[in-house]
Structure 1
Amino acid sequence: MTRILHVLDHSLPLHSGYTFRTRAILRAQVARGWEVRGITGHRHTAQGPLVEEVDGLIFHRTPGIAAEGNPLIREWRDIAAHADAIDALVRQWRPDIIHAHSPVLNAMAAQKVAKRHGLPLIYEIRAFWEDAAVGNGTGVEGSPRYWLTRQLETHAVRQADAVAVICEGLRGDLIARGVDPARIVVSPNGVDMDQFGTPVPRDPALTAKLGLEDADVVGFIGSFYDYEGLDDLIAAMPRLVRARPKAKLLLVGGGPREDALRDQATASPFADRIRFVGRVPHDEVEHYYAQVDVLAYPRKAMRLTDLVTPLKPLEAMAQGRLVAASGVGGHRELIEDGVTGTLFAPDDPAAIAQALAGLFAQRAQWDERRAAARAFVEAERNWAANILRYEPVYERLLARPADARAAA
């Protein structure tokens, strides 16, 4: 039985798009008959034992070290500590493949161990670390740190035996860097249809609690980062309410921009139409999806959003919700305008309001739109099928002699 060791930034029990994708991959691989484990680095901040079982999956932790010192020195120290923990687990558990997931620090730690033990290494990129830093407000495009991180990313890709990316945008960027297309597999974001494939009915008690009776409900469920464009969505509300007097906005989640967004909403002339719920347990999220007519994803235009596809719109489609999103590259890979969703110009509150008002004026087309979106997810973004894309890559890597891998 094939054993796969996943090298991760963080994992369950923390909740994020990153951990949910990881859970979906590992659960699907277990169902396929493979043995899997994960090992996280120092960015996993949840308290717990060094070996932890969550949702039936086993995760190992890299022991913590002091966080003081120069950030660059600290990151190199983190890589070394992570590599030591991976090496110890490899000696104990004897995996057949190491599957490292971004950011690039994980790939760098895993490469040392893979080479030492003659194991094949696949490096999976969910977003380029340099662009994620810009999107999160911790980096600046074109800065020396941005350039250095980009060089490390390219080097890690060239050192890996195979590369996986979550979308065509990332694949195209790697090809432009000179990476052989034959070494790249696209394993797109998907949905666990066992979890999201059966929408729950709207709970009238929750509807009343949220004040959404007889409302045209626009919603966002996710993390409140600047690149998500929620400020543009709030700015669109006056125009939307004037066009659709019953319109209300439901914001579920939290993140770095939450305080600023709450202040912006309070200052809005339609503050009473905007409801913040805060974070909710993941097993309750589907009840909030059921409260929403249209899920809005107004991501801003930038390299991160043009190259990377998000997970949340797929969950919304699986839940039978209508989807409206900005026309950045990551959304265009998921949404066919007028068929599976509605696209509007990014960074433009007026365009957001116009698109949403248009959707509410076309209720007769909603069932057809929902059916098309769900069919797309079932056929092309279902994790049960997505993990099969890894299988030929694993088989090819395992067929290579160990000495050839060690010398690579």
Structure 2
Amino acid sequence: MKILFTTIFDYPHTGGLSTHVTTLKAGLMELGHATEVLSFSDIPQATQRFTVQGPSFLLNRLQSGKGFVWSQKRRQELLKSLLKERGNTFDLVNAQDVFAALAAKSLGLPTVLTAHGYMAREALSKGAILPDSPEEQTLIDVEKQAYTRADAIVTVDKRIQEYIQELAQRQAHAIKNFINVQDFKPDKANKKEIKKHLNLDSFEFILFVPRRLTQKNGVILPVKALPEVLKHHPSTCLVYAGDGEEMTTLKSTAQEQQVTSQVRFLGAVPHEQMKDYFSAADVVLIPSIHSAGVEEATSIAALEAMGSGTPVIAGAVGGLREIISDHQDGLLVRERDIQALAEAIVTLLADSVLREKLATQARQKIEAEYSHLTAAKRYLAVYDTVRKT
């Protein structure tokens, strides 16, 4: 089978969607199938700048959110043009967002839509649109239309599956996120060398936050918890890998907390380099929260940490509760509870036996349930239902 992955966003880019596509492609190719990707990155830079990004900026100056919605629709039009030029040289389109799905369906192409989240709610959460605005209603309508028109829908957790059922009365297939278990595997034997290579060897403990710096990811919580952690483990460094609109707030909070010397902001880190940071880390923090109705899905970063043999502390929300069994293969803490997060970190750093137990059982779970090959087989079963219709 030949599968074309499509998205109105850039590919590759730093983020879960891009990682999902890359990992699924690898699984499908190992099983003997051909894959390609068509994305916004295939649009010439000049066209991106002058027909999407520039006008979007100006429209947002006139009315908050107007440019955002306009740019999504413009990206859909450009992707549709690329699809039309490509011609029907593939068996199926696997769209990674609702606008990409509508672009494919407008050309009559067999389309599976993978829903990674709640588009309208996430736009609200990051401040791209305003609550109760015409733009919010437009995005909800677009979601409903895409879910109705797609030949099949896959969601990355059960909550998104339930959301689509409620919004569009469509039954979706829930296939949780996954990782390449050969790429992300324990490498603790080389931990000292890796820490030295990353210039982190002056610290006894490393706390790693592999998150896009956005509100729903709860990234402000670790830096607020750090002073309490340092009382018990003063040689600890908090490392953020990711960028986003919360960067300025995080840096100012670190200054207010007087912990700037023990916080590192790496910005966006290429995915292939992330495995070194997981190996260097003693604890990975995924402190997600509810934000404007948005919940964390089955976090790829959490899965990669678990596969790498590094214990995870996560917010007890959304898909994180599906992939982590509290005190068996990770720790779950109440969302937004800074004290609970600090206590969990202090406990783990003080107990190497517990860290090893959680890491070992997490790796076993990843191998059994979250392999990219297992996920590829599940996707192929969905693809087959579309090809037979």
Normalising by structure 1, report the TM-score.
Answer: 0.84
Structure 1 residues 76 and 321: CA distance shift in structure 2, 3 A = closer
SS at match of 2:324: coil
Q: How many residues align?
A: 376
Change (3 A) 1:141 1:376: farther
Match of 1:379 among 357, 368, 374: 368
Is the partner of 1:253 in helix, strand or coil?
Answer: coil
The amino acid across from 1:24 in the alignment is: T
- Residue 371 of structure 1 and its aligned partner are, at CA, apart by 1.1
User: Out of 215, 230, 236, which is 1:226 matched to?
Assistant: 215
CA contact under 8 A between 1:239 and 1:353: conserved in structure 2? yes
Indicate the residue corresponding to 1:199 in structure 2: 187
Q: 1:123 aligns with which of 92, 106, 113?
A: 113
Shift of 1:392: 2.0
Displacement of 1:336 in angstroms is 0.9
Name structure 1 gaps, 5 residues minimum.
50-61, 401-408
| 361-370 or 9-18, which deviates more | 9-18
Letter in 2 for 1:234: V
Q: In the aligned structure 1, how far is the partner of 2:51 from the partner of 2:159?
A: 37
Structure 1 residue 208, shift from structure 2 partner: 8.2
- Find the residue that maps to 2:295 and give its secondary structure: helix
Give 1:135 shift. 3.0
* Alpha-carbon separation, structure 1, partners of 2:294 and 2:345: 21
Give the equivalent residue in structure 1 for 2:165.
175
The equivalent position to 1:66 in structure 2, one of 51, 73, 93, is 51
Shift of 1:274: 2.2
Indicate conservation of the 8 Å contact 1:308/1:330, yes or no. Answer: yes
Task: Please report how far the alpha carbon of residue 306 of structure 1 lies from its aligned counterpart in structure 2 after TM superposition.
Answer: 2.1
- 8 Å CA contact retained: 2:305, 2:312: yes
Matched, 1:255 2:244: yes
Deviations 1:62-82 (A, max 9, x none): 987623265355544432332
Q: Does the Cα contact within 8 Å between 2:6 and 2:100 map onto a contact in 1?
A: yes
How far 1:204 moved relative to its partner? Answer: 3.6
Q: Report if aligned partners of 1:169, 1:329 keep a CA contact under 8 Å in 2.
A: yes
Task: Say if 1:213 and 1:76 are closer, same or farther in 2 by CA, change over 3 A.
Answer: closer
Q: Which residue of 2 aligns with 1:90?
A: 87
Q: Is 1:325 the counterpart of 2:310 in the alignment? A: no
Q: List aligned pairs for 1:268-287, cutoff 5 A.
A: 268-287=257-276
Distance 1:155 1:278, change over 3 A: closer
Match of 1:146 among 136, 143, 153: 136
Is the deviation greater in 5-14 or in 207-216?
A: 207-216
Match of 1:55 in 2: none
Superposition map of 1:214-363 within 5 A: 215-302=204-291, 305-306=294-295, 308-363=297-352
Determine if the alignment matches structure 1 residue 137 to structure 2 residue 127: yes
Match in the other structure for 2:102: 108
Say which SS state the counterpart of residue 339 (structure 2) adopts: helix
Q: Percent identity?
A: 20
For residues 36-81 of structure 1, the C-alpha deviation after alignment (integer angstroms, 9 at most, x for no partner) is 222113xx389789xxxxxxxxxxxx98762326535554443233
Q: Retained in 2: the 8 A contact 1:131–1:141?
A: no
**Contact kept in structure 2, 1:203 and 1:287, CA below 8 Å:** no
Alpha carbons of structure 1 residues 367 and 300: separation in structure 2 relative to 1, 3 Å? same
Quote the Cα distance in structure 2 between the aligned partners of 1:275 and 1:232. 15
Q: Secondary structure at the match of 1:249?
A: strand
Pairwise CA distance, 1:312:
0.3
> How far, CA to CA, are the matches of 1:287 and 1:391 in structure 2?
32
Q: Distance in 1 between matches of 2:70 and 2:247?
A: 32
- 2:137 match: secondary structure: helix
Q: Which amino acid aligns with 1:110?
A: A
SS of residue matched to 1:328: coil
- Quote the Cα distance in structure 1 between the aligned partners of 2:71 and 2:209: 36
Q: 2:94 — aligned with what?
A: 99
Residue matched to 2:33: 34
Per-residue deviation at 1:194?
2.2
Q: Secondary structure at the match of 2:280?
A: coil
Question: What is the Cα-based RMSD across aligned positions, in Å?
Answer: 2.6
Partner Cα separation in structure 2 for residue 285 and residue 307 of structure 1: 20
- The answer on 1:388 being equivalent to 2:377 is yes
**C-alpha distance in 2, partners of 1:344/1:21?**
26
Query: Are residues 372 and 75 of structure 1, via their aligned partners in 2, closer, same or farther at CA, if it must alter by over 3 Å?
Result: closer
User: More strand by proportion, 1 or 2?
Assistant: 1
Cα distance change, pair 149–30 in 1 and its aligned pair in 2 (3 A): same
CA distance in 2, matches of 1:22, 1:11: 12
CA distance in 2, matches of 1:258, 1:75: 24
Aligned position for 1:79: 76
CA distance in 2 between partners of 1:46 and 1:82 (Å): 8
Deviation, structure 1 residue 271: 3.1
Distance in 1 between residues matched to 2:199 and 2:293, nearest whole Å: 33
Alpha carbons 2:203, 2:236 under 8 Å: kept: no
**In structure 1, the residue corresponding to 2:210 is in which secondary structure?**
strand
Sort the Cα spacing of 1:242 and 1:305 in 2 relative to 1 into closer, same or farther, 3 A: farther
Deviation at 1:341, TM superposition (A): 0.6
**Distance across 2 between alignment mates of 1:267 and 1:372:** 38
Change (3 A) 1:167 1:253: same
Opposite residue 34 of structure 2, the aligned amino acid is E
Equivalent position of 1:52 in the other structure: none
Counterpart code for 1:98: V
